[in-house]
Structure 1
Amino acid sequence: MKRMVDCVVLKRKAEGLDKPPHPGELGKRIYENVSREGWKQWLERLVMIINENGLSTADPNNLSLIEKHMLGFLFGEGDYGQVPAGYRAGGGKK
């Protein structure tokens, strides 16, 4: 039987992740509260955030900012996680 969670992203019950997708307490929190589909939506948003802000996952300062965006997108905490200002889908000009 699939593990179900009350997904904070989808706002409904949905199939959970197989394992924590992030280290530490945040990873455990995500595992317990975010569905596969919710995590997929976060990964899509993450690509947008990285590209729009020119971030590098190899830079520890950028990882801290990415975590802030993650908390904002997944849990509505803080001022991060939204679509970047001026973003236009499909690569349109600002």
Structure 2
Amino acid sequence: MARMVQCVKLKREAQGLDFPPYPGPLGTRIWQSISKEAWGQWLDIQTRLVNENRLNLADARARKYLAQQMENFLFEDGSVEAQGYVPPEE
């Protein structure tokens, strides 16, 4: 049976992640209160942030920036998107 969480991002009960997706206390917090669906939304945005901003993930500043954006998106109802990103037309 799937593990359910009260997702703080989606504001409803949804299927939880199988394991903490990030190291440390932040990863535990995500695992406890973010759904698979919301995490998938973040991964899409993270990919766009890395690509559009040409982030080098070997750079500690880039990783810190992504972590801040992740917390903003997942826990603070922040609108996070890559600057200049235009979604494809349906």
Q: Which band: TM-score by shorter chain?
A: 0.7 to 0.9
Aligned-pair CA distance for 1:82: 1.2
CA distance in 2, matches of 1:44, 1:84: 11
CA deviations on 1:26-57 (whole Å, 9 max, x unpaired) are 00000001011111110001011111211122
CA contact (8 A) 1:71 1:81 kept: no
Letter in 2 for 1:39: W
Whether the aligned pair in 2 keeps the contact of 1:2 and 1:15 (CA below 8 Å) is: yes
**Aligned-residue identity in percent:** 44
Query: Following the alignment from structure 1 to structure 2, what is the Cα–Cα distance between the partners of residues 86 and 61?
Result: 21
* Alpha-carbon distance between aligned partners in 2 of 1:2 and 1:12, rounded to the nearest angstrom: 15
Moved segments of 4+, more than 6 Å: none
Which has the higher relative contact order, 1 or 2, with Cα contacts under 8 A spaced 6 or more apart? 2
CA contact (8 A) 2:45 2:81 kept: yes
- How high is the TM-score relative to the length of structure 1? 0.84
Contact 1:55-1:62 within 8 A present in 2 as well: yes
Q: TM-score, normalised by structure 2?
A: 0.88
Equivalenced residues, count: 88
Q: CA RMSD in A?
A: 1.6
- Cα deviation for residue 9 of structure 1 reads 1.8
1:9-24 pair list within 5 angstroms = 9-24=9-24
Distance in 2 (CA, whole Å) between partners of 1:38 and 1:18 is: 13
Instruction: Show structure 2 runs of 5+ residues with no match.
Output: none
Gapped regions of structure 1 (runs ≥ 5): none
Partner of 1:82: 80
